[in-house]
Amino acid sequence: MKLSHTSAATSAVFDDPNLIGSAGLVPILRLAQSAGLSALADEHLSVPSDKGANAGAKVTALVAGMVAGADSIDDMALLRHGAMGRVFERCYASSTLGSFLRAFTFGHVRQLDAVATRFLTNLAATTPILSGVGQVAVVDIDDTIIEVHGNAKQGAGFGYTKVRGMNALIATVSTDTTAPVIVAQRLRKGSANSARGAARLVRDALKTVRTLAREQSKTGTRVLLRADSAYYGHPVIGAAVKTGAEVSITVRLDARIKAAISAIADDAWTTIEYPHAVFDEESGTWISSAQVAEVPYVAFTSKKKTQVPGRLVVRRIPDANAEKKKRAGQDGLFEVFRHHAFFTTTPTGVADTVAVDKVHRAHAIIEQVHADLKNSALAHLPSGKFAANAAWLVLAVIAFNLTRAAATLTGAPGLVRATTATMRRTLITVPARVATSARKVILHLPRGWPWQHAWTVLFERVHAPPAPLLT
């Protein structure tokens, strides 16, 4: 592809008042409106003074900006170009939205958490975003460091990644047929331990999942909590078990775990072949097969009231560094294999050893959610105030879930599990010329847009009379 005209015959002028660059915001905000985003914010937010006025409109504007690609407060200026003021009401200036965020306190962030939870519940009631949650729901919890720069960021510090930033704790829920959506979130200081406050977040997340499940099924649902070893402790596991949820959580290889592994008979191991080779970061090699086995195990035996019976499932792979360790005089119990173990309360009658191992390995899906957020609104934490950044995280979650819900309404298989960046490129940042006729707004979209069908399906579904869309 090359330009059709010479430099001398080409010019550019920013002078058309009838154009918008993000026509996809029309169906997206219609969906947000039908799910009650603005009304929920008006009801639950009590940000004081004039800065908190019209909270619903300001929350919606911030979410719209994030959906369109904003990752800073200044980026909210993209809501005020061309004909945006003709298509949307209350296109706030970036400075106004920034002042609104900086007026937040911790209590207001918790109010916004409630808005996000209720908004997700409404989305799930009218879209297939969580189809099947009434049967089996998998909740994943993990934290990630959002890197920050400058010295004026409240709460910034060095965490487990040795990168200066702030710690975002995220819980997602997914089903066999749906991609993950976020059910709980919390911004913490950068130096926070991964497990700090995790038990409370787990309780909040599981409560939301139970609510979502009841909306689809009255017979009850299986809920599984997955996590890595940072969350292996009685506070998190106890919180999950108390709600009736199963757990599948990686354990640290301490002396008690090693003793349990060493007691596994040689003939108890089952070989599994991976459909695709898995890269093992510790050894720097690609792994195409492994062996799994399990033994009954009771966690937290130090106190009778904290004991949790379950299964210790162990996966072992050949240790690529075994010979090097042997030559260095580092012989040990596990000189041939490296072992990865996790604790699960899933009954054996529900899933055998191979099945629970496969389910546990899928916990890595939450890393995709982290990457998605950091490639979108969480590319930056825009304010020097901690509470403003905490509110920004919640708004980013609302935008993530809203975009995911919109993608499910398109019916396009390639978009249902696509990243936010892909959905933004195909559905959101579509240019349009705005015209009016007989008091109607008409969007003239590009001829030959590759995703015209998906966009049209979304537009027609959100503008149709309200009707259950769950499948």
What's the pLDDT at 435? 94
Beta-carbon contacts of residue 390 (< 8 Å; ≥ 6 apart): 104, 106, 109, 186, 187
Helical segments of 127-197, H only: none
Q: How many CA atoms lie within 13 A of 455 on its CB side?
A: 25
What's the pLDDT at 302? 85
What's the pLDDT at 322? 55
What's the pLDDT at 305? 84
Closest listed residue to residue 369, CA positions, set 132, 181, 174: 181
Asked if 398 and 373 touch (Cβ cutoff 8 Å), the reply is no
Could you read off the pLDDT tens digit of each residue along the chain, which spans 471 residues? 888 888 888 889 888 999 999 999 999 999 999 999 999 999 999 999 888 999 999 999 999 999 999 999 999 999 999 999 999 998 999 999 999 999 999 999 999 999 999 999 999 999 999 998 888 999 999 999 999 987 788 998 988 888 899 999 999 999 998 999 999 999 999 999 999 999 999 999 999 999 999 877 766 789 999 999 999 999 999 999 999 999 999 999 999 999 999 999 989 999 988 777 666 666 667 777 789 999 999 999 888 888 999 999 999 987 766 555 555 555 555 457 888 999 999 999 999 999 999 999 999 999 999 999 999 999 999 999 999 999 999 999 999 999 999 999 999 999 999 999 999 999 999 999 999 888 888 999 999 999 999 999 999 999 876 555 444
CA–CA distance, 170 with 396 (Å, rounded to integer) = 12
What's the pLDDT at 470? 46
CA dihedral 200→205→209→211, nearest 10 degrees, is 60
Domains of the chain: 15-106+384-463 (no CATH), 134-374 (3.90.350.10)
- What residue type is assigned to position 61 of the chain? A
